[in-house]
Amino acid sequence: MNSDQKEQQLLRGLVENDTKAIQTIYAGNFSLIQALVLNNNGSYDDARDVFQEAMVILYEKACKSDFKLTCQLKTYLYAISKRLWLKKLKHHGLFVSNTDLSILEPVIAVEEDLEMAEKKDEEFQIMESAFAKLGEPCKSLLEAFYIQKKSMADLVEIFGYTNSDNAKTQKYKCLMRLKKLFFAQYSK
C-alpha cells in the first residue's frame, strides 16, 4: 500500500471516529504543529488547541462527499494550523515574527476550508450555548440520547422514568425547548 492510499485510509478512519486512525494521525503530526506554535510565542496548551482544531477542520472536510485531499496530510494540517495560530496571535495582539511564519507560506489554499470551518464553528457554538441554557435534566437527557446515542430503554433506566412513554414525553419537551433556543440564535 503506498502512502497515498494509507492516508486515504486514515481519513476514512477519522470520519468513522476510529480510535486507531486518530491516534496514528495524531502521533504523526502533533509534534510538528507543537513546534510551530511553541516557536511562535505559543504555549503547550495553545499547541494542543490549534492541533485539535485543525483535526476538526480536517474531519469536517473529510466528511464531505466531494472531498479530495490534494496534498499530504501533514502539509494540510500544517497549513491549517499555521493560519489558525496566526489568527489567534492577531486576535491577542501578539507580536508575530515575520521571519518564522511567513517563510513557510502554505503551498495549498486553505482559505475556503477555514471559512467553512468558521461557519461550522459558529453553529457549534450556537448549539453549545443552547445546550448550556437548557438546564438539567434536559441537557443530560438530550446528550444521552442524541450524542451518546443511548436507547430509550437506557434513558428510562438512567433517569429513573416510570416507563418508556414518560421518557419520550420528557425528551420531546426538552427537544422542543432546545430547538427554540437554537433557532433563536441560528436564524439571526
Question: Residue numbers of the site for another protein (CB under 8 A)?
Answer: 17, 19, 22-23, 26-27, 30-31, 34-35, 38-39, 44, 48, 52, 55-56, 59, 63, 120, 123-124, 127-128, 146-147, 149, 168-169, 172, 175-176, 179, 182-183, 186
- Residue 134's CB is within 10 A of a number of other CB atoms, namely 20
The residue among 93 and 136 lying less far from another protein, judged by its C-beta, is 136
Q: How far is the CB of 22 from another protein (least distance, A)?
A: 5
The residue among 12 and 179 lying less far from another protein, judged by its C-beta, is 179
* DSSP letter string, 79-126: HHHHHHHHHHHHHTT----HHHHHHT--SS--HHHHHHHHHHHHHHHH
The residue among 4 and 6 lying less far from another protein, judged by its C-beta, is 6
